[in-house]
Amino acid sequence: MKDSKLSIGQATEELAAREPIFHRPEFGTSRADFEAMVAPEFWEIGASGRRYSKSFVLDTLENRHAKPVSESCLVTDFACQELSPNLYLATYQLDQAGRLSQRSTIWSYSSGVWLIVFHQGTLIAA
């Protein structure tokens, strides 16, 4: 597939199916799967406020998925905004069994492939 401009509707639909990141087993559960989802320059800010490197995130995901994972995740208020050609910001609220956070992910799109450039989770005070 060649690089063609996605409509904001297409991008929203495709990204809504991929969020929350790393919680969609249909996109993979192995370290190699997760590595294929992130851009070389990927990093994130966790709900703790700490900055995490790509390697730290991949190590954490590999350890978490060493045995089957069962999670309850509810995404609400999903929105998508194009930041520049083929670069999109996805935002949403995530409820993980009562733990509420506001999430944002910057995604790049090229040749039919989505890559995560940046992710942040911020806890929502009760």
Q: Sheet containing 51-53: which strands, arranged edge to edge?
A: 51-53, 38-45, 113-123, 99-110, 87-96, 74-84
Of 3 and 9, the one with more pLDDT: 9
Per-residue DSSP letter, 111: T
Strands (E), the chain: 38-45, 51-53, 74-84, 87-96, 99-110, 113-123
Quote the percentage of the chain above a pLDDT of 70. Answer: 97
Which has the closest alpha carbon to 52: 124, 119, 123, 122? 119
Q: What is the pLDDT of residues 13-38, one digit of tens each?
A: 999 999 999 989 899 999 999 999 99
Q: What is the pLDDT of residues 75-110, one digit of tens each?
A: 999 999 999 999 999 999 999 988 999 999 999 999
What is the pTM (predicted TM-score) of this model? 0.92
- CATH architecture label of 8-123: Roll (3.10)
Sign of CA dihedral 62, 48, 23, 87: negative
Q: What is the pLDDT of residues 48-59, one digit of tens each?
A: 899 999 999 999
Annotated domain spans of the chain: 8-123
Q: Are 56 and 34 in contact (CB under 8 A)?
A: no
